Structure 1
Amino acid sequence: MKLIKLTAVSAAVLASTAALAAEPVVMVDDSYDAEPMAYTTTSANTGYQYNEDAGVVRNTTGAVVGGTKTFFNTVTHPAAISAEVGTLGYGANLAWGLNDKTEIQAGWAGGDVADLFGGDFDANDVNYEVDTDFSNPYMGVQLRPAANWFTMGAGIIVPDNDITATANARDAGDNGYYPVDGARYYVGTPDADADLDPTRGDLTNVGGVTAELEHRNKLAPYATIGFRPNITNNFGVFGELGAAYLGKTSAKVNANGASGALAEQKIKQELEDEDYLEWMPIVKLGATYRF
Protein backbone atom coordinates (compact mmCIF):
# COMPACT_ATOMS: atom_id res chain seq x y z
CA MET A 1 0.00 0.00 0.00
CA LYS A 2 2.86 2.40 0.92
CA LEU A 3 4.46 1.64 -2.43
CA ILE A 4 1.23 2.55 -4.25
CA LYS A 5 0.95 5.86 -2.32
CA LEU A 6 4.58 6.76 -3.04
CA THR A 7 4.08 5.98 -6.70
CA ALA A 8 0.97 8.22 -6.86
CA VAL A 9 2.73 11.12 -5.15
CA SER A 10 5.73 10.81 -7.47
CA ALA A 11 3.45 10.84 -10.52
CA ALA A 12 1.68 13.97 -9.26
CA VAL A 13 5.00 15.77 -8.72
CA LEU A 14 6.22 14.82 -12.19
CA ALA A 15 2.96 16.04 -13.76
CA SER A 16 3.18 19.37 -11.96
CA THR A 17 6.80 19.82 -13.03
CA ALA A 18 5.90 19.08 -16.66
CA ALA A 19 3.06 21.62 -16.55
CA LEU A 20 5.38 24.31 -15.22
CA ALA A 21 8.00 23.55 -17.84
CA ALA A 22 5.39 23.97 -20.56
CA GLU A 23 4.77 27.69 -19.74
CA PRO A 24 5.80 29.80 -22.78
CA VAL A 25 8.88 32.09 -22.71
CA VAL A 26 9.02 35.18 -25.01
CA MET A 27 12.42 36.49 -26.12
CA VAL A 28 12.83 40.29 -26.50
CA ASP A 29 16.24 41.62 -27.53
CA ASP A 30 18.24 38.82 -25.84
CA SER A 31 16.14 39.10 -22.64
CA TYR A 32 12.92 37.28 -21.85
CA ASP A 33 9.54 37.67 -20.30
CA ALA A 34 8.15 34.53 -18.71
CA GLU A 35 4.41 34.37 -18.44
CA PRO A 36 3.37 35.19 -14.83
CA MET A 37 2.71 32.31 -12.45
CA ALA A 38 -0.08 33.83 -10.35
CA TYR A 39 -3.37 32.07 -9.61
CA THR A 40 -6.55 33.24 -7.95
CA THR A 41 -9.08 31.15 -6.07
CA THR A 42 -12.44 31.02 -7.85
CA SER A 43 -14.25 29.45 -4.92
CA ALA A 44 -13.36 27.49 -1.88
CA ASN A 45 -11.94 24.06 -2.65
CA THR A 46 -12.89 24.30 -6.36
CA GLY A 47 -9.44 24.86 -7.86
CA TYR A 48 -7.51 27.79 -9.30
CA GLN A 49 -7.91 30.15 -12.27
CA TYR A 50 -4.87 31.62 -14.14
CA ASN A 51 -4.51 35.43 -13.88
CA GLU A 52 -2.41 36.62 -16.85
CA ASP A 53 -2.01 40.18 -15.55
CA ALA A 54 -0.72 39.41 -12.09
CA GLY A 55 2.89 40.40 -11.37
CA VAL A 56 3.65 41.47 -14.93
CA VAL A 57 6.80 43.65 -15.32
CA ARG A 58 7.16 44.92 -18.87
CA ASN A 59 10.63 44.90 -20.47
CA THR A 60 10.86 48.23 -22.37
CA THR A 61 14.60 48.07 -23.07
CA GLY A 62 14.07 46.68 -26.54
CA ALA A 63 11.54 49.36 -27.48
CA VAL A 64 13.75 52.21 -26.24
CA VAL A 65 16.87 50.90 -27.94
CA GLY A 66 14.96 50.11 -31.11
CA GLY A 67 13.35 53.56 -31.21
CA THR A 68 16.69 55.30 -30.68
CA LYS A 69 18.27 53.20 -33.39
CA THR A 70 15.46 54.02 -35.82
CA PHE A 71 15.78 57.76 -35.11
CA PHE A 72 19.57 57.64 -35.54
CA ASN A 73 19.27 55.71 -38.81
CA THR A 74 16.71 58.22 -40.11
CA VAL A 75 18.88 61.24 -39.28
CA THR A 76 22.05 59.72 -40.74
CA HIS A 77 20.32 58.44 -43.88
CA PRO A 78 18.55 61.39 -45.58
CA ALA A 79 16.14 60.79 -48.44
CA ALA A 80 17.74 63.33 -50.80
CA ILE A 81 20.48 65.91 -51.29
CA SER A 82 20.04 69.03 -53.42
CA ALA A 83 22.24 71.78 -54.86
CA GLU A 84 20.69 75.23 -55.39
CA VAL A 85 21.38 78.73 -56.63
CA GLY A 86 19.14 81.75 -56.10
CA THR A 87 18.58 85.05 -54.36
CA LEU A 88 19.74 83.59 -51.03
CA GLY A 89 23.03 82.55 -52.67
CA TYR A 90 24.67 79.30 -53.67
CA GLY A 91 23.91 76.36 -51.43
CA ALA A 92 22.74 72.86 -50.71
CA ASN A 93 20.26 71.05 -48.50
CA LEU A 94 19.46 67.62 -47.10
CA ALA A 95 15.92 66.25 -46.93
CA TRP A 96 14.45 63.53 -44.71
CA GLY A 97 11.22 61.93 -45.91
CA LEU A 98 8.45 61.55 -43.34
CA ASN A 99 5.98 60.11 -45.87
CA ASP A 100 5.22 60.40 -49.60
CA LYS A 101 3.98 63.99 -49.15
CA THR A 102 6.23 65.48 -46.47
CA GLU A 103 9.96 66.15 -46.15
CA ILE A 104 12.03 67.94 -43.52
CA GLN A 105 14.79 70.09 -45.07
CA ALA A 106 17.95 71.61 -43.59
CA GLY A 107 20.30 73.65 -45.73
CA TRP A 108 22.54 76.65 -46.26
CA ALA A 109 22.79 79.30 -48.98
CA GLY A 110 25.12 82.26 -49.18
CA GLY A 111 28.03 83.98 -50.90
CA ASP A 112 28.22 87.19 -52.90
CA VAL A 113 24.63 87.45 -54.09
CA ALA A 114 25.19 90.98 -55.45
CA ASP A 115 27.89 89.59 -57.74
CA LEU A 116 25.51 86.86 -58.86
CA PHE A 117 22.60 89.12 -59.77
CA GLY A 118 24.16 92.60 -59.97
CA GLY A 119 23.62 94.86 -56.99
CA ASP A 120 22.47 98.44 -56.72
CA PHE A 121 19.46 100.25 -55.31
CA ASP A 122 18.13 103.79 -54.85
CA ALA A 123 17.34 105.38 -51.50
CA ASN A 124 15.28 108.43 -52.46
CA ASP A 125 17.50 110.06 -55.13
CA VAL A 126 20.85 108.50 -54.18
CA ASN A 127 22.06 105.41 -56.01
CA TYR A 128 24.08 102.83 -54.06
CA GLU A 129 26.35 100.09 -55.34
CA VAL A 130 26.07 96.96 -53.19
CA ASP A 131 28.56 94.32 -52.11
CA THR A 132 27.28 91.33 -50.15
CA ASP A 133 28.48 88.36 -48.16
CA PHE A 134 25.42 86.26 -47.34
CA SER A 135 25.08 83.34 -44.94
CA ASN A 136 21.59 81.87 -44.65
CA PRO A 137 21.24 78.53 -42.85
CA TYR A 138 17.63 77.36 -42.88
CA MET A 139 15.29 74.58 -41.81
CA GLY A 140 11.79 73.93 -43.06
CA VAL A 141 9.10 71.57 -44.28
CA GLN A 142 8.50 70.74 -47.94
CA LEU A 143 5.01 69.47 -48.77
CA ARG A 144 3.58 67.77 -51.86
CA PRO A 145 -0.13 68.28 -51.11
CA ALA A 146 -1.27 66.34 -54.17
CA ALA A 147 1.61 63.81 -54.00
CA ASN A 148 2.92 65.07 -57.36
CA TRP A 149 5.48 67.63 -58.62
CA PHE A 150 3.77 70.68 -57.01
CA THR A 151 5.36 71.75 -53.71
CA MET A 152 4.73 74.16 -50.86
CA GLY A 153 7.43 75.06 -48.35
CA ALA A 154 7.74 76.98 -45.09
CA GLY A 155 10.40 77.37 -42.45
CA ILE A 156 12.93 79.59 -40.70
CA ILE A 157 16.12 81.24 -41.95
CA VAL A 158 18.86 82.34 -39.55
CA PRO A 159 20.30 85.26 -41.57
CA ASP A 160 23.83 86.55 -41.11
CA ASN A 161 24.18 88.80 -44.16
CA ASP A 162 26.85 91.48 -44.56
CA ILE A 163 25.71 94.26 -46.93
CA THR A 164 27.98 97.18 -47.85
CA ALA A 165 26.45 100.05 -49.85
CA THR A 166 28.60 102.70 -51.54
CA ALA A 167 26.90 105.91 -52.68
CA ASN A 168 27.36 107.02 -56.28
CA ALA A 169 27.69 110.80 -56.60
CA ARG A 170 25.96 112.66 -59.40
CA ASP A 171 28.34 114.40 -61.80
CA ALA A 172 32.10 114.09 -61.43
CA GLY A 173 34.94 115.45 -59.36
CA ASP A 174 34.34 118.08 -56.71
CA ASN A 175 31.09 119.01 -58.48
CA GLY A 176 29.74 115.55 -57.70
CA TYR A 177 27.03 115.52 -55.05
CA TYR A 178 24.48 113.34 -53.25
CA PRO A 179 20.88 114.62 -53.30
CA VAL A 180 19.67 114.16 -49.73
CA ASP A 181 16.35 115.46 -48.40
CA GLY A 182 16.15 118.23 -51.03
CA ALA A 183 19.73 119.41 -50.43
CA ARG A 184 23.00 118.71 -52.26
CA TYR A 185 25.89 117.18 -50.34
CA TYR A 186 28.98 117.80 -52.44
CA VAL A 187 31.88 115.38 -52.48
CA GLY A 188 34.45 118.21 -52.29
CA THR A 189 34.53 121.97 -52.86
CA PRO A 190 32.51 122.62 -56.04
CA ASP A 191 33.45 125.05 -58.79
CA ALA A 192 31.99 128.54 -58.80
CA ASP A 193 29.43 127.59 -61.43
CA ALA A 194 27.99 124.77 -59.27
CA ASP A 195 24.46 125.13 -58.01
CA LEU A 196 25.51 125.65 -54.40
CA ASP A 197 22.73 127.02 -52.19
CA PRO A 198 23.36 127.10 -48.42
CA THR A 199 19.76 128.13 -47.77
CA ARG A 200 18.66 124.79 -49.21
CA GLY A 201 20.90 123.00 -46.74
CA ASP A 202 23.70 122.22 -49.18
CA LEU A 203 26.98 120.96 -47.71
CA THR A 204 30.50 120.81 -49.15
CA ASN A 205 33.41 118.46 -48.45
CA VAL A 206 31.21 115.50 -47.52
CA GLY A 207 33.62 113.03 -49.13
CA GLY A 208 32.80 109.43 -50.06
CA VAL A 209 29.79 107.78 -48.42
CA THR A 210 29.55 104.11 -47.46
CA ALA A 211 27.03 102.29 -45.27
CA GLU A 212 26.91 98.93 -43.52
CA LEU A 213 23.36 97.53 -43.59
CA GLU A 214 21.99 94.89 -41.24
CA HIS A 215 18.52 93.38 -41.02
CA ARG A 216 17.08 93.34 -37.52
CA ASN A 217 15.40 89.92 -37.61
CA LYS A 218 17.60 87.19 -36.14
CA LEU A 219 15.05 84.59 -37.31
CA ALA A 220 13.34 85.12 -40.65
CA PRO A 221 10.21 83.11 -41.54
CA TYR A 222 9.82 82.14 -45.19
CA ALA A 223 7.25 80.54 -47.49
CA THR A 224 7.57 79.20 -51.03
CA ILE A 225 5.71 77.40 -53.77
CA GLY A 226 7.42 75.43 -56.50
CA PHE A 227 7.79 72.33 -58.63
CA ARG A 228 9.95 69.20 -58.18
CA PRO A 229 9.60 66.80 -61.10
CA ASN A 230 11.67 63.62 -61.10
CA ILE A 231 13.73 63.04 -64.25
CA THR A 232 14.84 59.51 -63.34
CA ASN A 233 14.42 57.26 -60.33
CA ASN A 234 17.25 59.13 -58.59
CA PHE A 235 17.58 62.54 -60.25
CA GLY A 236 15.20 65.48 -60.31
CA VAL A 237 15.11 69.27 -60.70
CA PHE A 238 13.26 71.97 -58.82
CA GLY A 239 12.34 75.63 -58.81
CA GLU A 240 10.85 77.76 -56.04
CA LEU A 241 9.34 81.23 -55.64
CA GLY A 242 8.58 82.92 -52.34
CA ALA A 243 9.75 85.46 -49.78
CA ALA A 244 11.41 85.74 -46.38
CA TYR A 245 10.69 88.50 -43.89
CA LEU A 246 14.09 89.86 -42.82
CA GLY A 247 12.69 92.87 -41.01
CA LYS A 248 13.65 96.53 -41.00
CA THR A 249 17.20 97.68 -41.78
CA SER A 250 19.75 99.30 -39.49
CA ALA A 251 22.42 101.43 -41.20
CA LYS A 252 25.85 102.52 -40.03
CA VAL A 253 26.99 105.37 -42.29
CA ASN A 254 30.50 106.71 -42.83
CA ALA A 255 31.04 109.96 -44.78
CA ASN A 256 34.78 110.63 -44.74
CA GLY A 257 34.94 114.33 -45.70
CA ALA A 258 35.32 117.36 -43.42
CA SER A 259 31.54 117.84 -43.32
CA GLY A 260 30.81 114.13 -43.34
CA ALA A 261 29.53 113.95 -39.77
CA LEU A 262 26.81 116.49 -40.61
CA ALA A 263 25.63 114.37 -43.52
CA GLU A 264 25.74 110.94 -41.86
CA GLN A 265 22.56 111.22 -39.81
CA LYS A 266 20.45 112.40 -42.77
CA ILE A 267 21.81 109.66 -45.03
CA LYS A 268 21.31 107.04 -42.29
CA GLN A 269 17.65 108.06 -41.94
CA GLU A 270 17.03 107.81 -45.68
CA LEU A 271 18.62 104.35 -45.85
CA GLU A 272 16.62 103.02 -42.90
CA ASP A 273 13.40 104.48 -44.30
CA GLU A 274 14.08 102.59 -47.54
CA ASP A 275 14.01 99.22 -45.68
CA TYR A 276 16.28 97.58 -48.22
CA LEU A 277 15.18 93.96 -48.71
CA GLU A 278 12.79 93.98 -45.75
CA TRP A 279 10.94 91.28 -47.68
CA MET A 280 13.67 89.21 -49.29
CA PRO A 281 12.42 87.63 -52.53
CA ILE A 282 13.24 83.94 -52.82
CA VAL A 283 13.93 82.63 -56.29
CA LYS A 284 15.89 79.41 -56.58
CA LEU A 285 16.68 76.66 -59.06
CA GLY A 286 18.42 73.40 -58.37
CA ALA A 287 18.90 69.68 -58.86
CA THR A 288 18.17 66.78 -56.49
CA TYR A 289 19.62 63.32 -56.03
CA ARG A 290 17.37 60.85 -54.21
CA PHE A 291 18.93 57.90 -52.40
Structure 2
Amino acid sequence: MKTLTTVLTAALLTAMAGTAMAEEVVVQDGYAFEKNQLIPTGVRAEVGTTGYGGALLWTANPYVGLALGYNGGDISWTDDVSINGTKYDLDMDNKLAYLNAEIRPWGASANRWAQGVYMAAGVGYLDNDYDLSKRSNDGTIKVNGNNYNFNGAVEGKMSYKNDIAPYVGLGFAPKINQNWGVFGEVGAYYTGNPAVDLNANGTFVNVNGADFDKDLRAEQQKIANDDKYEWMPVAKLGVSYHF
Protein backbone atom coordinates (compact mmCIF):
# COMPACT_ATOMS: atom_id res chain seq x y z
CA MET A 1 0.00 0.00 0.00
CA LYS A 2 2.92 2.35 0.78
CA THR A 3 4.32 1.77 -2.71
CA LEU A 4 0.92 2.40 -4.31
CA THR A 5 0.49 5.63 -2.36
CA THR A 6 3.93 6.79 -3.51
CA VAL A 7 3.07 6.05 -7.15
CA LEU A 8 -0.25 7.92 -6.94
CA THR A 9 1.38 10.90 -5.23
CA ALA A 10 4.01 11.05 -7.96
CA ALA A 11 1.30 10.86 -10.63
CA LEU A 12 -0.66 13.72 -9.08
CA LEU A 13 2.47 15.87 -8.71
CA THR A 14 3.30 15.17 -12.34
CA ALA A 15 -0.22 16.20 -13.34
CA MET A 16 0.12 19.46 -11.38
CA ALA A 17 3.46 20.21 -13.00
CA GLY A 18 2.04 19.33 -16.40
CA THR A 19 -0.92 21.63 -15.81
CA ALA A 20 1.37 24.55 -14.93
CA MET A 21 3.49 24.07 -18.05
CA ALA A 22 0.39 23.55 -20.18
CA GLU A 23 -1.10 26.82 -18.91
CA GLU A 24 1.97 28.71 -20.14
CA VAL A 25 1.69 27.10 -23.58
CA VAL A 26 -2.04 27.47 -24.05
CA VAL A 27 -2.11 31.10 -22.89
CA GLN A 28 0.42 31.88 -25.61
CA ASP A 29 -1.93 30.21 -28.06
CA GLY A 30 -4.83 32.34 -26.91
CA TYR A 31 -6.35 29.67 -24.67
CA ALA A 32 -6.95 31.11 -21.17
CA PHE A 33 -8.88 29.74 -18.22
CA GLU A 34 -12.34 31.24 -17.74
CA LYS A 35 -14.90 30.89 -14.99
CA ASN A 36 -17.32 29.14 -17.30
CA GLN A 37 -14.87 26.25 -17.44
CA LEU A 38 -16.37 25.16 -14.12
CA ILE A 39 -19.37 24.08 -16.20
CA PRO A 40 -19.02 20.54 -17.62
CA THR A 41 -17.67 20.51 -21.16
CA GLY A 42 -19.04 17.09 -22.02
CA VAL A 43 -20.82 13.91 -20.95
CA ARG A 44 -20.28 10.25 -21.67
CA ALA A 45 -22.13 6.96 -21.38
CA GLU A 46 -20.13 3.87 -20.43
CA VAL A 47 -20.42 0.15 -19.77
CA GLY A 48 -17.88 -2.35 -18.50
CA THR A 49 -16.69 -4.53 -15.66
CA THR A 50 -17.85 -2.08 -12.98
CA GLY A 51 -21.37 -1.84 -14.40
CA TYR A 52 -23.02 0.76 -16.58
CA GLY A 53 -23.52 4.48 -16.11
CA GLY A 54 -21.94 7.73 -17.20
CA ALA A 55 -19.78 10.70 -16.33
CA LEU A 56 -19.58 14.48 -16.50
CA LEU A 57 -16.42 15.77 -18.18
CA TRP A 58 -14.40 18.93 -17.66
CA THR A 59 -11.50 20.15 -19.81
CA ALA A 60 -9.12 22.46 -17.92
CA ASN A 61 -6.81 22.70 -20.94
CA PRO A 62 -5.74 20.39 -23.78
CA TYR A 63 -3.54 18.41 -21.40
CA VAL A 64 -5.72 17.91 -18.32
CA GLY A 65 -9.35 16.91 -17.82
CA LEU A 66 -11.60 15.62 -15.06
CA ALA A 67 -14.27 12.91 -15.09
CA LEU A 68 -16.91 12.57 -12.36
CA GLY A 69 -19.00 9.46 -12.84
CA TYR A 70 -21.10 6.62 -11.50
CA ASN A 71 -21.33 2.94 -12.46
CA GLY A 72 -23.87 0.43 -11.17
CA GLY A 73 -25.81 -2.69 -12.01
CA ASP A 74 -25.18 -6.41 -12.00
CA ILE A 75 -22.51 -6.75 -14.69
CA SER A 76 -19.76 -9.06 -13.43
CA TRP A 77 -16.02 -8.79 -14.04
CA THR A 78 -15.77 -12.50 -13.19
CA ASP A 79 -18.28 -15.35 -12.89
CA ASP A 80 -16.75 -17.09 -9.90
CA VAL A 81 -14.50 -16.93 -6.86
CA SER A 82 -11.95 -19.73 -6.66
CA ILE A 83 -10.19 -20.91 -3.51
CA ASN A 84 -8.29 -24.16 -2.93
CA GLY A 85 -9.28 -25.38 -6.39
CA THR A 86 -13.04 -25.09 -5.75
CA LYS A 87 -15.38 -22.40 -6.98
CA TYR A 88 -18.26 -20.22 -5.81
CA ASP A 89 -20.65 -18.74 -8.35
CA LEU A 90 -20.55 -14.95 -8.12
CA ASP A 91 -23.43 -12.52 -8.64
CA MET A 92 -22.44 -8.84 -8.44
CA ASP A 93 -24.30 -5.69 -7.43
CA ASN A 94 -22.06 -2.75 -8.37
CA LYS A 95 -22.27 0.75 -6.86
CA LEU A 96 -19.28 2.91 -7.72
CA ALA A 97 -18.81 6.69 -7.80
CA TYR A 98 -15.49 8.02 -9.04
CA LEU A 99 -13.45 11.17 -9.68
CA ASN A 100 -10.49 10.88 -12.05
CA ALA A 101 -7.91 13.28 -13.43
CA GLU A 102 -7.13 12.49 -17.06
CA ILE A 103 -3.68 13.56 -18.23
CA ARG A 104 -3.15 13.78 -22.00
CA PRO A 105 0.58 13.96 -22.85
CA TRP A 106 -0.14 14.84 -26.49
CA GLY A 107 -3.25 16.94 -25.89
CA ALA A 108 -2.09 19.79 -28.15
CA SER A 109 -0.95 17.52 -30.97
CA ALA A 110 -2.39 18.11 -34.42
CA ASN A 111 -3.04 14.37 -34.63
CA ARG A 112 -6.48 13.66 -33.12
CA TRP A 113 -5.55 10.04 -32.41
CA ALA A 114 -2.58 11.15 -30.31
CA GLN A 115 -4.83 13.67 -28.55
CA GLY A 116 -7.05 10.80 -27.43
CA VAL A 117 -4.41 8.96 -25.37
CA TYR A 118 -4.65 9.66 -21.63
CA MET A 119 -3.54 8.40 -18.24
CA ALA A 120 -6.10 8.38 -15.42
CA ALA A 121 -5.50 8.70 -11.68
CA GLY A 122 -8.18 9.19 -9.07
CA VAL A 123 -10.38 7.68 -6.40
CA GLY A 124 -13.58 5.67 -6.28
CA TYR A 125 -16.22 5.26 -3.58
CA LEU A 126 -17.26 1.59 -3.55
CA ASP A 127 -20.37 0.04 -2.03
CA ASN A 128 -20.37 -3.32 -3.81
CA ASP A 129 -22.08 -6.56 -2.74
CA TYR A 130 -21.31 -9.94 -4.30
CA ASP A 131 -23.52 -12.99 -3.68
CA LEU A 132 -21.64 -16.29 -3.43
CA SER A 133 -23.07 -19.79 -3.91
CA LYS A 134 -21.12 -23.05 -3.74
CA ARG A 135 -20.87 -25.04 -6.95
CA SER A 136 -21.03 -28.84 -7.19
CA ASN A 137 -20.75 -31.08 -10.23
CA ASP A 138 -20.74 -34.54 -8.62
CA GLY A 139 -22.91 -34.42 -5.49
CA THR A 140 -20.02 -33.45 -3.21
CA ILE A 141 -18.48 -30.11 -2.32
CA LYS A 142 -14.97 -29.28 -1.21
CA VAL A 143 -14.60 -26.94 1.75
CA ASN A 144 -11.13 -25.99 2.95
CA GLY A 145 -9.67 -28.93 1.04
CA ASN A 146 -12.06 -31.57 2.47
CA ASN A 147 -14.81 -33.27 0.47
CA TYR A 148 -18.33 -33.36 1.94
CA ASN A 149 -21.44 -35.23 0.89
CA PHE A 150 -24.20 -32.72 1.31
CA ASN A 151 -27.92 -32.08 1.30
CA GLY A 152 -28.37 -28.34 1.32
CA ALA A 153 -26.43 -25.31 0.18
CA VAL A 154 -23.46 -23.11 1.02
CA GLU A 155 -24.05 -19.42 0.27
CA GLY A 156 -22.66 -16.12 1.39
CA LYS A 157 -21.59 -12.58 0.57
CA MET A 158 -18.39 -10.79 -0.33
CA SER A 159 -18.53 -7.01 -0.07
CA TYR A 160 -16.51 -3.83 -0.36
CA LYS A 161 -18.43 -1.45 1.88
CA ASN A 162 -17.95 2.32 2.01
CA ASP A 163 -14.41 2.01 0.70
CA ILE A 164 -12.41 4.88 -0.78
CA ALA A 165 -10.16 3.17 -3.32
CA PRO A 166 -7.29 4.72 -5.33
CA TYR A 167 -7.36 4.15 -9.07
CA VAL A 168 -4.87 4.15 -11.95
CA GLY A 169 -5.71 3.51 -15.58
CA LEU A 170 -4.90 4.07 -19.24
CA GLY A 171 -7.41 5.21 -21.82
CA PHE A 172 -7.99 6.21 -25.43
CA ALA A 173 -10.72 8.75 -26.23
CA PRO A 174 -10.50 10.16 -29.76
CA LYS A 175 -13.13 12.50 -31.17
CA ILE A 176 -15.04 11.35 -34.23
CA ASN A 177 -16.13 14.89 -35.07
CA GLN A 178 -16.45 18.23 -33.28
CA ASN A 179 -19.02 16.91 -30.77
CA TRP A 180 -18.98 13.12 -30.68
CA GLY A 181 -16.26 10.77 -29.54
CA VAL A 182 -15.63 7.22 -28.34
CA PHE A 183 -13.47 5.93 -25.53
CA GLY A 184 -12.02 2.83 -23.94
CA GLU A 185 -10.22 2.49 -20.62
CA VAL A 186 -8.48 -0.20 -18.59
CA GLY A 187 -7.17 0.06 -15.05
CA ALA A 188 -7.66 -1.14 -11.49
CA TYR A 189 -8.85 0.01 -8.07
CA TYR A 190 -6.89 -0.97 -5.00
CA THR A 191 -9.74 -2.09 -2.74
CA GLY A 192 -7.97 -3.94 0.04
CA ASN A 193 -9.41 -7.21 1.31
CA PRO A 194 -13.19 -7.66 1.16
CA ALA A 195 -15.51 -8.67 3.99
CA VAL A 196 -16.68 -12.29 3.50
CA ASP A 197 -19.50 -14.14 5.24
CA LEU A 198 -20.29 -17.77 4.38
CA ASN A 199 -23.33 -19.65 5.69
CA ALA A 200 -24.60 -23.21 5.22
CA ASN A 201 -28.03 -24.83 5.44
CA GLY A 202 -28.46 -28.61 5.45
CA THR A 203 -26.29 -31.61 6.34
CA PHE A 204 -22.63 -32.00 5.39
CA VAL A 205 -20.79 -35.26 6.02
CA ASN A 206 -17.11 -36.09 5.58
CA VAL A 207 -16.19 -39.79 5.74
CA ASN A 208 -12.93 -38.97 7.54
CA GLY A 209 -14.69 -37.01 10.27
CA ALA A 210 -13.60 -33.51 9.28
CA ASP A 211 -15.34 -30.63 11.08
CA PHE A 212 -17.53 -28.82 8.54
CA ASP A 213 -18.11 -25.65 10.58
CA LYS A 214 -14.38 -25.28 11.22
CA ASP A 215 -13.60 -25.80 7.53
CA LEU A 216 -16.26 -23.28 6.46
CA ARG A 217 -14.80 -20.58 8.74
CA ALA A 218 -11.28 -21.36 7.48
CA GLU A 219 -12.39 -21.07 3.85
CA GLN A 220 -14.15 -17.80 4.62
CA GLN A 221 -10.89 -16.37 5.98
CA LYS A 222 -8.90 -17.60 2.98
CA ILE A 223 -11.22 -15.84 0.53
CA ALA A 224 -11.17 -12.64 2.60
CA ASN A 225 -7.35 -12.61 2.75
CA ASP A 226 -6.51 -13.73 -0.78
CA ASP A 227 -4.26 -11.11 -2.42
CA LYS A 228 -5.99 -11.36 -5.80
CA TYR A 229 -9.22 -9.91 -4.34
CA GLU A 230 -7.41 -6.76 -3.16
CA TRP A 231 -7.67 -5.34 -6.70
CA MET A 232 -10.77 -4.61 -8.75
CA PRO A 233 -10.03 -4.68 -12.49
CA VAL A 234 -11.63 -2.08 -14.75
CA ALA A 235 -12.33 -2.31 -18.47
CA LYS A 236 -14.99 -0.14 -20.08
CA LEU A 237 -16.14 1.33 -23.38
CA GLY A 238 -18.46 4.18 -24.22
CA VAL A 239 -19.38 7.21 -26.25
CA SER A 240 -18.97 10.88 -25.38
CA TYR A 241 -20.61 14.14 -26.38
CA HIS A 242 -18.72 17.41 -26.09
CA PHE A 243 -20.61 20.72 -25.92
- Aligning the two structures, in what range does the TM-score lie when normalised by the shorter sequence? 0.7 to 0.9
Moved segments of 4+, more than 6 Å: none
- Aligned twin of 1:121: 81
- Aligned twin of 1:40: none
Select 2:92's aligned residue among 132, 148, 152.
132
Select 1:248's aligned residue among 182, 190, 193.
193
- Which structure 2 residues correspond to residues 198-209 of structure 1 after superposition, within 5 A? 207-209=152-154
1:107-138 C-alpha deviation (Å, 9 max, x unpaired): 00111012xx6612321122111111100000
1:217/1:135 CA distance change after superposition, 3 Å: closer
- Which structure 2 residues correspond to residues 7-46 of structure 1 after superposition, within 5 A? none
1:277/1:170 CA distance change after superposition, 3 Å: same
Higher strand share: 2
- Aligned twin of 1:156: 123
How many Å separate the matches in 1 of 2:59 and 2:80? 40
Give me the TM-score of the superposition, normalised by structure 2: 0.74
Tell me the SS of whatever aligns to 1:158: strand
Aligned length: 196
1:88 and 2:70 correspond? no
CA shift for structure 1 position 272: 1.9
Contact (CA 8 Å) 1:215, 1:278: kept in 2 or not? no
- Which structure 2 residues correspond to residues 1-291 of structure 1 after superposition, within 5 A? 71=35, 73-75=36-38, 77-114=39-76, 119-147=79-107, 148-171=115-138, 176-188=139-151, 207-215=152-160, 218-258=163-203, 261-275=213-227, 277-291=229-243
Mind listing any 5+ residue stretches in structure 2 that lack a counterpart? 1-33, 108-114, 205-211
Alpha carbon RMSD of aligned pairs, Å?
2.0
Q: Percent of pairs identical after alignment?
A: 36
Contact (CA 8 Å) 1:81, 1:95: kept in 2 or not? yes
Give me the TM-score of the superposition, normalised by structure 1: 0.63
Q: Which has the higher contact order (CA 8 A, sep 6+)?
A: 2
Contact (CA 8 Å) 1:255, 1:263: kept in 2 or not? no
